[in-house]
Amino acid sequence: MKQLIALIALLAFSLVTLGTAQAERIKDIAQIYGVRSNQLIGYGLIVGLDGSGDQTTQTPFTSQSLGSMLANLGINLSASAIATMQLKNVAAVVVTASLPAFAQPGQNIDVTVSSLGNAKSLRGGTLLMTPLKGADGNVYALAQGSVLIAGAGGAGGGSSVTINHLSAGRIPAGASVERSVQSAALGQNSGFALELHQTDFTTASRLVAAINKFFGENTAFAIDGRLVQVQAPSDSNQRVSFIAQLENLSVSPSEMAAKVILNPRTGSIVMNQAVMVETCAVAHGNLSVTISSTPQVSQPGALSAGQTVVTDQAQVQIKTEKGELVVVPNSTGLGDVVKALNAVGATPQDLLAILQAMKAAGSLRAELEIL
């Protein structure tokens, strides 16, 4: 009897765990509409490089930028002197950053620097003060600091070895915010809107039901399959507490749509567990072409006026494998789909074409997305 009770308790716990595992917090499936980051960009100079900077004869903008910077510091050079500069320790870079929502002046953000010219490496360099502008042309941050490069390289005797990328790096907390971005997303009168990460009417309806159940009727209503309007308190303190409670509510999103992601450049294929395959027949065969070239030397006779001639003798071989007709059975689970596709015996590159053909034939119950 005790074992039966323990078994029932374990089963109940498993069902509860399974039910809660499917639910997600609102903050994980939606965000407040209009609360987003803003992209910043700037142009600057990196100095202190160990002879791996721009070759200014090929990148004249580097020397021009350095001349303008020196002029602002009270050092005036003639145009001819700037044009003949042979700099090796300076590189022109593009500086990019993302300004988070509600960022305030004095806050530090990370920046990324990328070589604009032909610098071989930015390792050991220091970025000089660079204004970062938004899409409206206003300066929102100032960047400066030492560049961190996650790579290494060396050269000698005509050979070189490079690990990772040397012409781009990051400066952690390398920019100081100088201007905040005012957001009208949290309006005082009309509340705010929640935006689902994925458009889905079922999830939007369940989200509205969860909010109204917790906060009361008419607190939220769906505008469409992506936006949900929420009525919030007008007081700022109550509003923050309201949003904190709201974003931690649990909602069970609708079942995911069947999707297969194809990347022809890398030959990778990713599919989710909702993918299904109807019964179909697939024929697959490989065709390989081999071209080999053998040099032939024709040597003239002694005391003759002929010349030694080298010719190439090419051989072309075409090999084709017999394509077998394989029946792919009806599969309702991801594991069955994988087994069925492996039965064809095709490589990932071949499966790209096979999956597209199966989709065209109506046997693949999934949406194809090609990256």
In a domain, residue 6? The reply is: no
Task: For residues 45 and 170, state if they share a domain.
Answer: yes
Angle, alpha carbons 26-32-35 (nearest 5°):
140
In a domain, residue 156? The reply is: no
Mean pLDDT of the chain: 77
pLDDT attached to residue 7: 38
Q: Among residues 93, 74, 69, which one has the least CA distance to residue 143?
A: 93
Task: For residues 67 and 171, state if they share a domain.
Answer: yes
Q: What is the pTM of this model?
A: 0.64
Burial class (CB in 10 A: 0-12, 13-18, 19+), 10: exposed
In a domain, residue 12? The reply is: no
Task: For residues 143 and 200, state if they share a domain.
Answer: no
Which range marks the domain in which residue 244 is found?
186-251
Q: What is the mean pLDDT of residues 305-319?
A: 65
Task: For residues 208 and 270, state if they share a domain.
Answer: no
Which comes out higher in pLDDT, residue 219 or 185? Answer: 219
Distance between CA atoms of 221 and 243, rounded to whole angstroms? 16
Q: In this predicted model, what pLDDT tens digit does every residue of 6-62 receive, in sequence order?
A: 433 443 444 334 334 467 888 888 888 888 889 999 999 999 888 888 887 778 888
Task: For residues 60 and 131, state if they share a domain.
Answer: yes
* Helices 348-360 & 334-344 angle (0-180, nearest 10): 110
In a domain, residue 26? The reply is: no
Distance between CA atoms of 100 and 95, rounded to whole angstroms? 16
Distance between CA atoms of 346 and 348, rounded to whole angstroms? 7
In a domain, residue 324? The reply is: yes
In a domain, residue 22? The reply is: no
